[in-house]
Structure formats: C-alpha cells, structure tokens
A and B are shown apart, each in its own frame.
Chain A
C-alpha cells in the first residue's frame, strides 16, 4: 500500500509540474513519466492477471513512448519556439492548480465508490482532469492544448484503475486507439494551422463569432 500511495502522489506531482513548466520539451517528458507511473500502478493492481499486464504494456507503448515521440517530432518539424505561452503567470498557474487540487480532494469523496480498488487514486484522478482542463484553457499554443487533453485523458485512465480494476481489455484498447487517433489528427491540423496562418496560436484564431 505504501508503494501505491507513493506512486499516486508522484502522479499528482507530475500533473502539477506539467501546469507550471514553461518548456514544451519538459512537459512532454513529464507526460511520458506520468504514463510510466500509471503503468506501474496498473501492474501493482494486476494481482498476477496476465491480460492486465498485456494491457498495461500496450498502453505504456502507445502513451508512454509513441505519443511523446510523435509530439517531439511534431514540435521539431513545426520550427516554432519550444516555449509555452499562457495567459497566466507561473505563480498564478500554480495557485490555481493548488486550488483545483484542493477542490478535487474536497469533492473526490462523492466519486469514491464503496467497491473502489484504489480509493486514494480517485481524488488524484479528478485533480488530473481539472489540471488538464486548466492547461487547455490557459495556454495559447495548439500543441499545449493537446498536452492538456492528454493529461486529462490520463486522469480518466487513473479513474478507471482506481474505481475498479480498469475497464475490460478491449474497451481499454479501443479508448487508447481513439486517443491516439485524436492526437494524430490534432497533429495534422496543427501543421495546417501553421501552414495557413504562420503561427500555432489558438488565441489568434478569432474569425468565427456568434
């Protein structure tokens, strides 16, 4: 149990750091690390079931390696600065992140079901979801919004692990496939946005109103 607690806290820490860092490279590495930690949690909860370990490894390959690699390739090809531009200062982001985490722990109780296999993971999962939404709304670059979405998606994954032993294998793989397709599609769109408008700043996409 001590190991699981440490892992869950480490996951929360990666979520926090992702909100506060200003370098895209650092955020992508933190995202990869978060997935390694999530894979470790799922192995720890597996209790020797083989299909569980297979699913954990597959998810680790897709989300821990493939997606980060794709994102690194994407920002290199885009030739834009690797700095994250946001509406909020670092200290204000951290303050808001702290408030959202506190909120997640406060309301997390409602979401913890009596059957939950990892009750302490539920508020952390909720915090990751909220922090992901915070990154999505507070940052201007299209690619940092994708990273916010990915962090949110990890929160949902941790939720599935904590409430029960994760979703059935084929559902889990389908969900991962959808996430990968969404990121891939977003990547193509980012290329087109850069080509069409010469920047990847969603704050400047303002032609549609009303």
Chain B
C-alpha cells in the first residue's frame, strides 16, 4: 500500500493532455492521498515507512497540492495546462517518496528528484528569463545536493557501512565517531540548506520563485522547501540521538539568524511582488531553522505549517493579480482592497500573516520563539531586529497594493473562492494553535 501511495500521482498521466481530465485527476490524487495516508500510519514496506512526522508533511503537501491544482484550472490557458500538471505529478511523486522514505539514501534520491521535477515547473513555458532561472536552479541545486550526498555517505560509513535504515542508523549513531558526524552534519546542512534557501546559499531561490508561473511558485514555496527542511529535521534528530545536539544547534541558529536578517533586508530592494514573496520565504525558512536550533522541533513544524498556508495564499493571490493586471511591479498595482476585494482582501491579509501579526499563526510561532530566544540576549535581540525589519519590509507593498492608487482589475475565470478557503484554513491554527498535536509529533521525531 505504501508503494501505491508513492506512485499514486502517476495516475494523472492517464489523462494525457486532456485538460479537464487532468484537472479532475490532479485534484482526485491528493484527495485520495489525504484519505489513504492516515490508515497507513505505522506501516512499512521495503525502504518505506510512514510515521507521524512524515504523515504530517504528506497531508500538508496533498492539501496544498489539491488547492493549487484546482486554482491552476483557471490560471493556465488550456493549451499549456498539461505542462503544469505533468511536472506537478512528478513533483508529487518525489514529495510522497521523500516523506515515506525510511532510508537515508532513498530520502536523498527523492529530494534530488523533487529538484528535477520542480525545475520543470519553473521552466514551464520557456523564454529567456525562465531559462536563466531554471538553469541556475538546476546547477546550484544539484551541486548543493551533491554536498548533501557526501554527508549521507559519511554517515553510512560512520555506522560501519551496515545500513541506511533510519531507525537502525539512529540506534547505531551513538557509538559513531563524533568528529566524523560533525563533518557529515555540516555537509548535510549545506546540501539540504541550499534547497531550503538558507543564506548565503539562496541565490537560486528568488529567481526560480519569481519566474515560475504563479501556481508553480505556490508549490515551490508552500511544499518544495518543506521537503528539504524535512531532511534537515531528520538529520538533526540523528545528531540529537548521537548526543551532538549542541553542535547542530549552533550551526542551525547561525544559519537561521543569517537567513532571517538577510531575507528581511532583501525585502526592501524589491520592486516585483513575486520576488518579494520569494525573499519572505527565505526569511521564514530561516525562522523555522532557528526554532529547530533552539531545540523546539514542534515549533519548527508549526512554523512550516503556518508558512506553507500563508505563502500558498500569497502566491495564488499574486498569480491572480498578475493574470488580471499584467503588472509585475508593486508600484503598478494598487487599491486592491477597495477595487477588487474578492482578490485583494485575502492577498493583503496573507501579507499581514507573513508579517507576523495576530491573529495569524506566524504571530504565535514567532512569539513562542522569542520567549525562548530571549533567555540569551545574543540570540533574542538579533531575532527581534530581524522580525522588525521583515515586517517593515512588507509595509510599503501592503499599503501600496492594498490601498494605493490603481485601477480596478477586470475579471477572468479565476477561482477566487479558493483564496477564501485558504484564508479560513490559515486562521484556524492561528486562533487555536494545536500545540499538543505538534508536541506529540516532536516526540515521534526526537525519541526512538
């Protein structure tokens, strides 16, 4: 059954290039995934096994994928939709595979697979800018992930070259040479960190997110970054099992803070709103990595949930704005809240959510992290400064796009009601954060 779950998305190819059928299957597949996956919790088959953390990310990915696939129906002209759904199916296979992998080698294979599939998403229709972004993404992503593979090899050798099975490695890693493990973790952090978009390894991220078609950007930011982050979670748990968490923590906190501060600073120079959202992803993945470094995996998980929902909403809103206004720059879009409320209200609220204001869940996540980080001012003060910068960076686009000068946007057949569904989904964990659920997931991740 687990094999079925991994390869379920290939069903989409039954539709060939028939757009209507492609949409139906692309929504049906994640729906089946959502129904099927909870019953497979705890089962194992070959190198696959589903535990709580994997299930959480699998459900999140399927939920977002289903919504994005439905939204994409109105976004793409009929004759080019198949490219998106085909590349999306490959992407969903690799995401499923990564979350189900119970073997560190297989995990690596599927993470690299998700890079290749998402390169197709970025490329979509071509043109000089998309080609440049795809090329950069493919080269940087592949080199980064090759560093990660060296890390995997070192871990394999350190446990005696016996096994790459996640559970067995975790029980063996306590006796492994700690110096070797530190080298391995540093390489793994650089490798998967390139894909997470940590500073200074983020060079591909703004280009890829900005040049991909809107629904693809939503998938890149809302689901793809999580795939690599999930791998980091697993390896941090491995370090913890080896008693080396303090070392891992130092690296994670440093990379997290740098990504937060630089991501926030980059927000100020951006004229295009999709690039702005891309740098905001870098900043929020930095925050999630920081929470992990603080030794709060539950908070890191919660942060990625909140970020995925807000950023999917933001990118879908942005693709709506782009489709209706054909303007990429912040300054050329205005008055959305008054003129086009069905699109403008959820989009502006997604920026509010990304800025970390209540009642949205990122506020709760950032507040909890500040509480812990403040115990040492060296961490807490730069963290607060970064948060402040990030919020300030979003203020002008929020004001201009929401209330500034601008024309009303003419309608086209976009499913704007989906934005309101996402907004509702985003509000739920903000109003009552399911902390207990996430603490239970932390136990699954942290303790054998």
Give A contacts to B, CB under 8 Å. 110-111, 113-116, 129, 133, 136, 142, 145, 149, 152-153, 156, 159-160, 163-165, 167-168, 170-171, 174-175, 177-178, 181-182, 185-186, 189, 192-193, 196-197, 202, 205, 207-208, 210
A149-B139, A178-B113, A210-B269 are known contacts. Are A171 and B126 too (CB-CB below 8 A)? no
Q: How far is the CB of A74 from chain B (nearest CB, A)?
A: 15
CB contacts (< 8 Å) of A181 on chain B: these are: 113, 116
Interface flag for B400 (CB, 8 Å): no
Interface flag for B403 (CB, 8 Å): no
The residue on B at minimum CB distance from A117 is B161
Please pick, from B128, B131, B146, B152, the residue contacting A189 in the complex, using a CB distance under 8 A.
B131
Please pick, from A115, A177, A208, the residue contacting B129 in the complex, using a CB distance under 8 A.
A208
Interface flag for B160 (CB, 8 Å): yes
Interface flag for B415 (CB, 8 Å): no
Total A-B residue pairs with C-beta atoms closer than 8 Å? 125
Q: Which of B82-125 contact A (CB under 8 A)?
A: 103, 105-106, 108-109, 112-113, 116, 119-120, 123
28 contacts between A and B (CB under 8 A): A110-B179, A115-B158, A115-B160, A116-B157, A145-B139, A149-B146, A152-B146, A156-B153, A159-B153, A163-B156, A164-B157, A167-B105, A167-B156, A171-B108, A174-B109, A181-B113, A182-B138, A182-B142, A192-B126, A193-B131, A197-B131, A205-B131, A205-B132, A207-B128, A208-B129, A208-B136, A208-B211, A210-B270
CB contacts (< 8 Å) of B296 on chain A: these are: none
Contact with A along B205-221 (1 / 0, CB 8 A): 01100110000000000
A178 touches B139 (CB 8 A): no
The B interface, classified by DSSP as helix, strand, loop or mixed, is: helix
B116 touches A182 (CB 8 A): yes
Give B contacts to A, CB under 8 Å. 47, 103, 105-106, 108-109, 112-113, 116, 119-120, 123, 126-129, 131-136, 138-139, 142-143, 146, 149-150, 152-154, 156-158, 160-161, 164, 177, 179-180, 183, 206-207, 210-211, 266, 269-270, 275
A159 touches B109 (CB 8 A): no
CB contacts (< 8 Å) of B157 on chain A: these are: 113, 115-116, 163-164
Please pick, from A156, A168, A193, the residue contacting B146 in the complex, using a CB distance under 8 A.
A156
CB contacts (< 8 Å) of B106 on chain A: these are: 170-171, 174
CB contacts (< 8 Å) of A153 on chain B: these are: 146
CB contacts (< 8 Å) of B180 on chain A: these are: 113
Q: How far is the CA of A116 from the CA of B275 in the complex (A)?
A: 46
Q: How far is the CB of A159 from chain B (nearest CB, A)?
A: 5
Q: How far is the CA of A183 from the CA of B431 in the complex (A)?
A: 47
Q: How far is the CA of A196 from the CA of B206 in the complex (A)?
A: 22
A196 touches B127 (CB 8 A): yes
Please pick, from B126, B133, B134, B154, the residue contacting A111 in the complex, using a CB distance under 8 A.
B154
CB contacts (< 8 Å) of B47 on chain A: these are: 170
Q: How far is the CB of B51 from chain A (nearest CB, A)?
A: 20
Please indicate which of the listed interface residues A116, A142, A185, A196 has the most CB atoms of chain B within 10 Å of its own CB: A185
Q: How far is the CA of A109 from the CA of B206 in the complex (A)?
A: 37
The A interface, classified by DSSP as helix, strand, loop or mixed, is: helix
A149-B139, A149-B142, A171-B106 are known contacts. Are A185 and B120 too (CB-CB below 8 A)? yes
Q: How far is the CB of B146 from chain A (nearest CB, A)?
A: 5
The residue on A at minimum CB distance from B112 is A178
Q: How far is the CB of A210 from chain B (nearest CB, A)?
A: 6
Given contacts A129-B150, A168-B105, A193-B135, could you give 8 more A-B pairs where the C-beta distance is less than 8 Å? Answer: A115-B157, A116-B157, A136-B143, A163-B157, A167-B152, A167-B156, A182-B112, A182-B138
Q: How far is the CB of A61 from chain B (nearest CB, A)?
A: 19
CB contacts (< 8 Å) of A185 on chain B: these are: 116, 119-120, 138
Please indicate which of the listed interface residues A163, A171, A185 has the most CB atoms of chain B within 10 Å of its own CB: A171
Please indicate which of the listed interface residues A110, A159, A163, A177 has the most CB atoms of chain B within 10 Å of its own CB: A163
CB contacts (< 8 Å) of A189 on chain B: these are: 123, 131, 134-135, 138
A133-B143, A174-B109 are known contacts. Are A168 and B138 too (CB-CB below 8 A)? no
Please indicate which of the listed interface residues A133, A174, A177 has the most CB atoms of chain B within 10 Å of its own CB: A174
A115 touches B113 (CB 8 A): no
Q: How far is the CA of A193 from the CA of B116 in the complex (A)?
A: 18
Q: How far is the CA of A175 from the CA of B127 in the complex (A)?
A: 30
Q: How far is the CA of A175 from the CA of B177 in the complex (A)?
A: 26
The residue on B at minimum CB distance from A208 is B207
A192-B126, A208-B132 are known contacts. Are A175 and B109 too (CB-CB below 8 A)? yes
CB contacts (< 8 Å) of B207 on chain A: these are: 208
Q: How far is the CA of A163 from the CA of B154 in the complex (A)?
A: 7
Q: How far is the CB of A177 from chain B (nearest CB, A)?
A: 8
Q: How far is the CA of A116 from the CA of B154 in the complex (A)?
A: 10
A171-B109, A182-B138 are known contacts. Are A163 and B131 too (CB-CB below 8 A)? no
Q: How far is the CA of A193 from the CA of B47 in the complex (A)?
A: 39
The residue on B at minimum CB distance from A126 is B150
A193-B131, A210-B269 are known contacts. Are A178 and B116 too (CB-CB below 8 A)? yes
Q: How far is the CA of A17 from the CA of B223 in the complex (A)?
A: 42
B126 touches A113 (CB 8 A): no
Q: How far is the CB of B48 from chain A (nearest CB, A)?
A: 12
Q: How far is the CA of A174 from the CA of B104 in the complex (A)?
A: 12
The 4 closest A-B pairs by CB, nearest first: A164-B161, A171-B105, A163-B157, A174-B109
The residue on A at minimum CB distance from B94 is A178
Q: How far is the CA of A88 from the CA of B161 in the complex (A)?
A: 41
Q: How far is the CB of B200 from chain A (nearest CB, A)?
A: 15
CB contacts (< 8 Å) of A174 on chain B: these are: 105-106, 109
Q: How far is the CB of B54 from chain A (nearest CB, A)?
A: 18
Q: How far is the CB of B212 from chain A (nearest CB, A)?
A: 12
CB contacts (< 8 Å) of B275 on chain A: these are: 210
The residue on A at minimum CB distance from B148 is A156
B131 touches A136 (CB 8 A): no
CB contacts (< 8 Å) of B270 on chain A: these are: 210
Q: How far is the CA of A181 from the CA of B156 in the complex (A)?
A: 24
Q: How far is the CB of B187 from chain A (nearest CB, A)?
A: 9
